[in-house]
């Protein structure tokens, strides 16, 4: 039983896409799931069976929204699209691999690698603006669902921001945690701020690997 002022979130990154497997920056380009991603979403559904949530939200990009649709079929709740859960717009780097970006846009790539907070990759969203957008959306959800459990489907960049806020890391610090596709990540918003409960739980995904391999 949660304190009436506490909201607990289960945050799930979308299932795999072909661009994930190619390590290509997707950003807000609307890439859908591949076969492995759909299998991951079904594995999430099996693991979520019997759990209760007050609401389900998803980024409105296809890879997240279709993960949500496949993963929540047995929960009896509609999926509410939430643009604040969208991935960051990576500007001119969208559609490139790291190698391509370093050759085509060396200065932009340098800022991207350095995690320069106020740099927008020429035509995109700065890391600082992105983080502010993400956390404002989650704060609104937390206030709306105080004392409840919320399920949300989103992207690696969003989870990166949430982990940093919940653990007190700066946006500029190198990442020392993982962001697996379709993993369970639990955080709480309580009277003291954001707290990390558990992260990158992939125990349910063996079923997805077996399904694709079979």
Q: Is residue 206 part of a domain?
A: yes
Q: Is residue 180 part of a domain?
A: yes
Q: Is residue 79 part of a domain?
A: yes
CATH number for position 173: 3.40.50.1240
* Active site annotation includes 22: no
Domain that holds residue 77: 7-90+126-213
Q: Is residue 113 part of a domain?
A: no
Whole-number pLDDT of residue 198: 98
* Candidate list 87, 125, 148, 188, residue with the active-site label: 87
* Active site annotation includes 109: no
For the segment 100-109, what is each residue's pLDDT rounded down to a tens digit? 999 999 999 9
For the chain, how many structural domains are there in total? 1
Residues 6+ apart with CB under 8 A from 205: 40, 43, 180, 182, 183
DSSP strand pairing (149-154 vs 55-58): parallel
For the segment 8-62, what is each residue's pLDDT rounded down to a tens digit? 999 999 999 999 999 999 999 999 999 999 999 999 999 999 899 999 999 999 9
Whole-number pLDDT of residue 50: 87
For the segment 126-185, what is each residue's pLDDT rounded down to a tens digit? 999 999 999 999 999 999 999 999 999 999 999 999 999 999 999 999 999 999 999 999
Whole-number pLDDT of residue 3: 87
pTM, whole model, 2 decimals? 0.95
Please say whether the beta carbons of 168 and 154 come within 8 A: no
Q: Tell whether the torsion through CA atoms of 87, 90, 96 and 102 is positive or negative.
A: negative
């Amino acid at each position: 039983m949660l304190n009436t002022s506490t909201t607990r979130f289960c945050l799930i990154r979308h299932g795999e896409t072909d661009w994930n497997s190619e390590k290509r920056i997707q950003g807000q380009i609307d890439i859908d799931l591949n076969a492995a991603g759909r299998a991951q979403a079904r594995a999430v559904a099996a693991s979520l069976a019997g759990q209760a949530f007050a609401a389900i939200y998803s980024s409105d990009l296809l890879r997240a929204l279709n993960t949500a649709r496949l993963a929540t079929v047995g929960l009896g709740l509609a999926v509410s699209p939430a643009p604040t859960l969208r991935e960051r717009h990576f500007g001119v780097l969208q559609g490139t691999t790291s190698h391509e970006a370093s050759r085509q846009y060396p200065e932009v790539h340098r800022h991207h690698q350095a995690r320069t907070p106020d740099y927008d990759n020429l035509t995109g969203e700065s890391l600082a603006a992105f983080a502010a957008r993400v956390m404002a959306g989650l704060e609104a959800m937390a206030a709306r669902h105080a004392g409840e459990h919320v399920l949300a489907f989103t992207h690696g960049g969003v989870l990166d921001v949430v982990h940093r806020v919940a653990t007190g890391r700066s946006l500029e610090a190198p990442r020392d945690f993982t962001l697996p596709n379709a993993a369970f990540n639990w955080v709480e918003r309580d009277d003291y701020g954001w707290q990390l409960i558990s992260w990158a739980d992939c125990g349910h995904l063996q079923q997805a690997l077996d399904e694709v391999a079979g």
